[in-house]
C-alpha cells in the first residue's frame, strides 16, 4: 500500500500542472496497478481493488478540476468600459477588408490637414452642449430672436445638440488665453457634428459636419481672414479661385460676412457662378470679454462652414442625404 500512496501522490502532482490532464489516467503506473490485481490472492484482492478504485476516483475528480481551470484561462475577460478595439473578441459585422473610409471621414482629415499645415491646431467639437456655449458666451442676448434662428434639438434636461458651428469658440478662447498673454496666438480649427431639427431634402440634413476656425492675435484683421480662407479653398480644390463676401448678421462677429467662391472651372463652373461656402467675421468684443480676453489688446476672426457642402461640390454629389444613407452603392465610389 505504501507504493500506491506514492504513486497516487505523483499522479496527482502531474495532473495539476498538465495541459492534457486526462492523459494521466492512461499512465503506465496506473496500468501496472490494475495489472497487479490478477496475480493477487483472493483474500487481498478485495481490499486492494477498493484502494485502486479510490485512487481512480480521486484522480478523475482532480482531472476534471484541472480541465475546468484550463478552460477558464482561455476565456478573454472584456473591459466593458473600453473602446471596441481593445477587446479582442468583439463582434465582427462585416469583414473589414471590404470596407472603406466614409467620404466625410476622408475629407474631414483632408480639411484638418490643410489647416494644420497652415499652423492651426485641429480639435474635435462636442456633440452635446449647453445654452451658454451655444448662445450665452456668443453675445446672443437673453430672449433675442436670433436664438430661434436655428432649428435646435434640446434634451428634456436642457442640453443642446450643437446647431451652429461656433459652439467651441468660447472654449477655444478660454483655453488659449494664457498662450495669447504669453505673446503667442490662438489658432484652432474644430471639426465635428452639428445637428438641426429641420425638414430633410436634397440640401438639408439633420446632421452635418462643421469646420469652425478661430484665430486671435494682437493684430488679426479681415485681410488675414480672407487670405486664410482663400488659401484654404484654393488648396482644397487645387486651383486658384475668385472669392467674394457679403454682409451677414451673426451676433458673435462684427462685421459678419458670408464668404463665397466662384465655382471652380474644373468642376464645370462658369464665370459669375458664385457658391456661398461659410459664415465668418471679426470676433465680437463681447465674445472675447466672455472668455476673459481684453478686446482692447487682442483681435480675432472666426468662421464656420459645413464639410458636406465642400465635398458635394468636389465630387458632384447631388443629394446631401446620401452621406447618412449607408448606401453601399454610394460609399463604394470612394473606396
Ligand atoms: N456659426 C455660424 C453658423 O453655423 C457660422 C459663423 C461662424 C458665422 C463664425 C460667423 C463666424 O451658421
User: Probe ligand 1: pick from 279, 280, 287, 301, max atoms within 8 Å of CB?
Assistant: 279
Ligand 1, atom 11: closest residue by C-alpha: 280
pLDDT: which is higher, 39 or 138: 138
Question: Are 78 and 88 within 8 A, CB to CB?
Answer: no
For the record, the C-alpha cell of 102 comes out as 466614409
Ligand 1, atom 12: closest residue by C-alpha: 164
Determine the Cα–Cα distance for residues 164 and 156; give it in Å rounded to an integer: 20
pLDDT at 65: 93
Residue recorded with cell 467639437: 125
Mean pLDDT, residues 148-157? 90
pLDDT in tens, 303-332: 999 999 999 999 999 999 999 999 989 999
Residue 207 forms beta bridges with which residues? Answer: 195
Q: Which atom of ligand 1 is nearest to the CA of 283?
A: 11
Q: Is the dihedral of CA 45, 46, 50, 51 positive or negative?
A: negative
Ligand 1 close to Cβ of residue 303 (< 6 A): yes
pLDDT in tens, 237-284: 999 999 999 999 999 999 999 999 999 888 888 999 999 999 999 999
Ligand 1 close to Cβ of residue 139 (< 6 A): no
- Closest by Cα among 155, 141, 258, 137 to 197: 155
Ligand 1 close to Cβ of residue 279 (< 6 A): yes
- Strand ranges in the chain using DSSP code E only, listed in sequence order: 121-124, 153-154, 160-161, 186-195, 207-217, 243-247, 253-262, 274-283, 299-306
Query: Mean pLDDT of all residues in the chain?
Result: 92
Cα torsion 171, 174, 180, 184 to 10°: value is -30
Q: Which atom of ligand 1 is nearest to the CA of 166?
A: 1
Determine the Cα–Cα distance for residues 264 and 228; give it in Å rounded to an integer: 18
Please give the distance, rounded to the nearest whole angstrom, from the Cα atom of residue 77 to the centre of ligand 1: 47
Amino acid at each position: 500500500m505504501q507504493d500506491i500512496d506514492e504513486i497516487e501522490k505523483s499522479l496527482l502532482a502531474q495532473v495539476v500542472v498538465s495541459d492534457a490532464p486526462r492523459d494521466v489516467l492512461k499512465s503506465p503506473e496506473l496500468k501496472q496497478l490494475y495489472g497487479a490485481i490478477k496475480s493477487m490472492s483472493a483474500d487481498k484482492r478485495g481490499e486492494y481493488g477498493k484502494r485502486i478504485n479510490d485512487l481512480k476516483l480521486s484522480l478523475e475528480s482532480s482531472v476534471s478540476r484541472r480541465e475546468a481551470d484550463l478552460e477558464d484561462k482561455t476565456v478573454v475577460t472584456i473591459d466593458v468600459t473600453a473602446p471596441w478595439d481593445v477587446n479582442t473578441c468583439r463582434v465582427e459585422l462585416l469583414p473589414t477588408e471590404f470596407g472603406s473610409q466614409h467620404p466625410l471621414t476622408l475629407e474631414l482629415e483632408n480639411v484638418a490637414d490643410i489647416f494644420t499645415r497652415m499652423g492651426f491646431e485641429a480639435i474635435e467639437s462636442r456633440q452635446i452642449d449647453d445654452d451658454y456655449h451655444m448662445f450665452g458666451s456668443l453675445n446672443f442676448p437673453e430672449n433675442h430672436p436670433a436664438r430661434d434662428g436655428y432649428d435646435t434639438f434640446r434634451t428634456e434636461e436642457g442640453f443642446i445638440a450643437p446647431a451652429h458651428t461656433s459652439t467651441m469658440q468660447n472654449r477655444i478662447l478660454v483655453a488659449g488665453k494664457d498662450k495669447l498673454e504669453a505673446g503667442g496666438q490662438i489658432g484652432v480649427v474644430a471639426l465635428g457634428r452639428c445637428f438641426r431639427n429641420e425638414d430633410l431634402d436634397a440640401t438639408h440634413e439633420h446632421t452635418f459636419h462643421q469646420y469652425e476656425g478661430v484665430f486671435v492675435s494682437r493684430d488679426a484683421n479681415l485681410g488675414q481672414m480672407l487670405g486664410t480662407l482663400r488659401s484654404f479653398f484654393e488648396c482644397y480644390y487645387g486651383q486658384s479661385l475668385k472669392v467674394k463676401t457679403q454682409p451677414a448678421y451673426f451676433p458673435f462677429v462684427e462685421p459678419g460676412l458670408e464668404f463665397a467662391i466662384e465655382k471652380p472651372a474644373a468642376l464645370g463652373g462658369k464665370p459669375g457662378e458664385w457658391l456661398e461656402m461659410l459664415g465668418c467675421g471679426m470676433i465680437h468684443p463681447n465674445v472675447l470679454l466672455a472668455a476673459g480676453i481684453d478686446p482692447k489688446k487682442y483681435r480675432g476672426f472666426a468662421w464656420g462652414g459645413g464639410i458636406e457642402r465642400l465635398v458635394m461640390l468636389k465630387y458632384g454629389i447631388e443629394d446631401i442625404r446620401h452621406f447618412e444613407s449607408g448606401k453601399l452603392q454610394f460609399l463604394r465610389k470612394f473606396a
